[in-house]
Each structure stands twice: as C-alpha cells, then as structure tokens.
C-alpha cells in the first residue's frame, strides 16, 4: 500500500466534514418538519451512500510524520469540543420552549443531536483522551461528560486496551451475542470496571479510592454541571431532552464497540496469559467517507496495535493481516440492531477468521463459556 503525504490543509480537509452537522442541527430546530431528519440521514444514510460512491482508501501515511505536520488534523479535534458544547447549550435554551415545534419534532431534533454527540463527539473524545497533552485530555473529558459517559475514559484506557479480546473486557462482543444483550451487559459492567481500575491504581500508590486524585470526582462534577445547565436552560423538558440525547449518544457508542471486536478472541497461552494484541484482533474497514466522518476510527486494527498513534497516521490492513468488514460502520450498525441479519453476515466471517489465524484451536467452547483464566 502506498505512503500518502498528509501534511497540507487540503489533505486534512475531508476530516472536517463533521462540522457540516452543526448547521443541520440548527436548521432542524429553526424549520422543523422534514428538516428534523437531516442529521440522521446525513450521518448514517449519507455516509453509507458516499462509501459506495467513493470506495476504499488503502493508502497509508508515513508513521514517522512529525507532529508539527499534523496541525490541521489536531485543530479540528480541538475545535470540536467548544462547538459541541455551545451547540448543546443553545439547543437546550431554544428547543424545549420553541412554540413552532411540536413534541415529536423536539424529540427527533434531540435524537439528531445525540447522533452528532455520539457518532462524532465521542469519537473525537476517544482521540483526545488517548493523548498525553493535558488540554486534549480535558477536552475529551468534557465531551464525554456532555453525554454522561465520563467513565468511558478510565474503562477504555485501563481496561479495554489491556484486556481486549478476553473475557475480562466487557466491550469485546462475544460470538453469537446479540447487540441488545451486549448493550445491557456493558451498561452494567463498564462503570463498575472503570471504577475498580482507578481504585486499583490508587491502591498501588497506597491511597484510598476517595482520594482527590481519583478522576471519578472530576467525572461526576462535570456531569453534574451539564445536568444543572440543562435544568436551568430548558427546565424539566430540557432535562428530559438532555438525557435523551445522552442515551442516544451512548447507544451509538456501544453499537460501535459491538462492531469493532465482535467474536474476535486473543489466544490463551496458559497461566492466565494471553497473546499480545495484534491487528487481527479488531475488525478493519477502509471505507473512505465514513473514515472521514469518524476520523479513521474504522482503522481500528491499527489503533489497538499502536494506541499512541494519532488518527491521521493510523494504518489500514488488507485481508491477510486483519479481518475486514463488508461495509462501513453506519451500514454495519443497521445490521447489528437486527440480530438474525447480523449473525447471517458476520458469523461466517468469524469462523473464517478462526480457521485462518488459529487452525490449531479446535474447541472454542472455553472462550465462549469463560472457563479460561482471566489475564492479570
């Protein structure tokens, strides 16, 4: 695969497409009617149609590209947080009391806002919390707090990346597990595992869980601030609409999590040890338009292989190196919410993956039943 030059604004510009959702949200609130469908159609249906028209991007950038050359890529991730927060606050102040909108229109507008904050905002938050820069980490945490899912940072960095592909990772969807079963399970398990991970880190330093350095204090404070803002700006209706957009955003996040690792398992080496994470432990997708919208999130195989890489430097892989999704995330998400359709399309791919990478494993039962020791 070719090495692509990425340092110019022209190269980075397609990744700014997410900003087009902002005027669509405003238009839906201003005009109502069919405009309230514009955001879901643009982000979900539009991206899938664009994938079909634009095809795949198989070019790989030079991983040694200096960070100074990534200015235009970093800038959109830095700008997104104030843009999303301002948009959310404006909608809370405007829509609940808008006389020109009926109840259904208001609900659909905030569904669209939840799509933006989940399909785009949490993806940007994911990129930001992976960085060492304090400003970027703070911006990521603010984005997560705006959808009441702040614990995602701790769970993702301390649990998911460490235990992906094992039963110790709630976010790795199990073979034959439906999305709806997965959603209920991770909604219960993720907050607990995130808190336990931070508590364990503090214990290793000889500190109690209630120590001020526990980031959960910060998470709870930020989330409370957004709840209070929703009540002040929109009253009880504003609070309900705020909670609805947060639920929508989380639903989309977990739908993405479900797709990213469905049925993929790291090999158990004995004594509770598992093989290192490799590109073939995540589903890969090279669909161009959705990767623009989701800042290369679909190059997930490389993200788990090299978590420190910024999104413009993520590599894509062919079928010999990583399992491939047949479509981009929006289309795969549609299939995932219909379990028979999902299993018909994805279960044969999981079986093919097992035969390709682990032909020596003839009994996958312990991986399914959780009989193997958990990693340390």
Instruction: List the pLDDT tens digit at each of the 376 positions of the chain.
Output: 444 556 788 999 999 999 999 999 999 999 999 999 999 999 989 999 999 999 999 999 999 999 889 999 999 999 999 999 999 999 999 999 999 999 999 999 999 999 999 999 999 999 999 999 999 999 999 999 999 999 999 999 999 999 999 999 999 999 999 999 999 999 999 999 999 999 999 999 999 999 999 999 999 999 999 999 999 999 999 999 999 999 999 999 999 999 999 999 999 999 989 999 999 999 999 999 999 999 999 999 999 999 999 999 999 999 999 999 999 999 999 999 999 999 999 999 999 999 999 999 999 989 888 888 888 7
* Confidence (pLDDT) at 2: 45
Residue of 83, 215, 227 lying closest to 146 (CA atoms) = 227
Both tokens assigned to 287: 């669909």
CB 296 within 8 A of CB 76: no
The pTM for the full model equals 0.95
Angle, helices 329-336/47-54, rounded to nearest 10 degrees: 130
What phi, psi does 287 have (nearest 5°)?
Answer: -65, 120
CA separation, residue 344 to residues 130, 176, 258, 334, 341 (Å):
35, 10, 16, 13, 5
Provide the residue count of the chain. Answer: 376
DSSP letters, 294-333, are TTTTT-HHHHHHSTTS-GGG-----TTTS-B-SS-HHHHH
Q: Is 274 helix (H, G, I), strand (E, B) or coil?
A: strand
**Nearest CA among 69, 54, 65 for reference residue 17:** 54
Residue 5: predicted pLDDT? 58
Q: Cβ neighbours of residue 234 under 8 Å, at least 6 residues apart?
A: 92, 93, 95, 96, 97, 241, 242
Cβ atoms of 19 and 76 closer than 8 Å: yes
Output the pLDDT for position 3.
Answer: 46
Question: In degrees rounded to 5, what are phi and psi of residue 5?
Answer: -80, 130
């Amino acid at each position: 695969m070719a090495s692509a030059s990425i340092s110019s604004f022209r190269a980075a510009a397609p990744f700014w497409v997410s900003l087009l959702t902002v005027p669509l949200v405003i238009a839906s609130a201003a005009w109502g009617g069919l405009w309230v469908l514009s955001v879901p159609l643009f982000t979900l249906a539009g991206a899938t149609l664009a994938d079909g028209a634009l095809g795949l991007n198989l070019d790989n950038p030079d991983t040694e590209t200096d960070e100074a050359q990534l200015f235009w890529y970093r800038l959109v991730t830095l700008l997104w947080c104030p843009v999303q927060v301002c948009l959310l606050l404006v909608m809370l102040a405007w829509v609940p009391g808008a006389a020109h909108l009926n109840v259904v229109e208001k609900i659909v507008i905030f569904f669209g806002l939840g799509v933006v904050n989940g399909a785009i905002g949490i993806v940007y938050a994911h990129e930001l919390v992976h960085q060492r820069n304090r400003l970027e980490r703070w911006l990521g945490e603010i984005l997560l707090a705006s959808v009441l899912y702040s614990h995602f940072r701790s769970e993702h960095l301390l649990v998911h990346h460490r235990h992906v592909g094992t039963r110790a990772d709630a976010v790795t969807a199990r073979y034959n597990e439906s999305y709806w079963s997965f959603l209920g399970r991770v909604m219960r398990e993720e907050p607990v595992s995130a808190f336990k991970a931070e508590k364990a880190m503090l214990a290793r330093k000889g500190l109690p869980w209630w120590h001020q350095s526990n980031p959960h204090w910060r998470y709870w404070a930020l989330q409370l601030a957004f709840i209070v803002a929703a009540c002040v700006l929109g009253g009880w209706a504003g609070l309900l609409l705020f909670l609805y957009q947060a639920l929508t955003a989380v639903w989309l996040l977990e739908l993405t999590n479900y797709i990213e690792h469905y049925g993929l398992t790291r090999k158990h080496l004995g004594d509770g040890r598992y093989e290192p994470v490799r590109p073939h432990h995540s589903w890969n997708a090279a669909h161009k338009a959705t990767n623009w919208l989701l800042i290369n999130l679909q190059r997930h195989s490389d993200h788990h292989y090299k978590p420190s890489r910024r999104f413009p430097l993520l590599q894509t892989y062919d079928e010999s190196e990583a399992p491939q999704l047949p479509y981009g995330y929006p289309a795969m998400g549609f299939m995932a919410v219909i379990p028979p359709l999902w299993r018909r399309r994805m279960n044969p791919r999981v079986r093919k993956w097992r035969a390709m990478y682990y032909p020596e494993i003839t009994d996958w039962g312990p991986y399914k039943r959780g009989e193997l020791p958990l990693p340390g």
